Amino acid sequence: MNTFKALKINPGSAICYSGFREGQYPGGVYPGYAEIREDLMLLHGHWKYLRLFDCDLHAETVLEVIKNDGLDFQLMLSAYINAEMNNFNCPWGGGVYSEEQLEQNCAENQRKINHLITLANQHPDIVFSLSVGNEACVEWTDHYVPEIKVRDYVRQVRAKAKQPVTFCENYAPWLSRLKTLAEEVDFISIHTYPVWEYKHIGESLDYTKENYYSVAEKYPHKPVVITEAGWATNSNGRGIDPGNVNEGYQQTYYELLMEWTERENILCFFFEAFDESWKGSPEPLEPEKHWGLFKIDRTPKLAVKHIAS
């Protein structure tokens, strides 16, 4: 069984956290200290591990709040790397950039990697692991980075930080194109979304298990972590059948997933804590906006009604 035991990290309740509220977005308006503190107090005592997506102002504020309040959280801190090559296979046409933009992205990515290392070394008691990117190698990504460059980022971080290092990616590339990268990381991180692959709630857990074990069995010498698994609660029909998503289905998937991963000692980050209105298209029912266990106004959905005050 692939677990975190080899890294001496105990599995526990884990969730992806991004605190951007209405009118806020990465690179623009960031949540303030009081807003992030409100979020963390809502999550505290229910989740032990938080996964952050970038080493930006949002992450710095999260670290500050945890440190100041002495909150019992452990963070997976990440650098969100942007496109370093064009990807003409991106289905929504977002993967093509000018050469100038790609050069700027390379420089910015290196800056982020350096900052990731700095924050990790500044907060070794809070940051338990590091990721050098998110869904940058999968065939449909709009921010493609070649595997060889991701490997270089992994090596840089492993050389200068003490925390174990990973790269967060959809399960499929680990089975084919990322074999070399798999040997470089300290543990493999996979994403599994049955509802994006047209699975009904009745098929959801079996499909997630199939995704997980296909990677775990391919790399029996490597711990495998689920860094994203979730179920949307709304859809405009773009990629997800609206009849396949609602709060009841999310609750069912959440409960089944948590029961299985807890029983098998698999560290699993549920995606995600809060809805984020900045994501995806401007349409209100765009599914990208509706993955939170809490709505954007911080009211709980069905899956967490029992724990929310």
Domains of the chain: 5-304 (3.20.20.80)
Q: Can you list the residues of the chain whose pLDDT is less than 50?
A: 1-2
Whether the Cβ atoms of residue 177 and residue 139 lie closer than 8 Å to each other: no
pTM greater than the 0.75 cutoff: yes
Look up residue 215 and give its two tokens: 């990677």
Are the C-beta atoms of residues 133 and 151 closer than 8 Å to each other? Answer: no
Cβ proximity of 154 and 181 under 8 Å: yes
Question: Is the N-terminal amide bond of 272 cis, ω within 30° of 0?
Answer: yes
pLDDT for residue 307: 82
Give the span between the Cα atoms of 293 and 199, in whole angstroms: 20
Give the pLDDT of residue 6. 64
Specify whether the CB–CB gap between 105 and 85 falls below 8 A.
no
H/E element, 34 = helix 33-43
Q: Are 57 and 35 in contact (CB under 8 A)?
A: no
In angstroms, the first-to-last Cα distance of the chain is 37
Check residue 48 and give its pLDDT.
97
pLDDT score, position 29? 98
Contacts of 70 (CB under 8 A, 6+ apart): none
- Buried/exposed 249-276: b ≥16 CB within 10 Å, e otherwise: bbbbbbeebbeebeebebbbbbbbbbbb
Paired with 16 in beta bridges are 51
Q: What is the pLDDT of residue 11?
A: 79
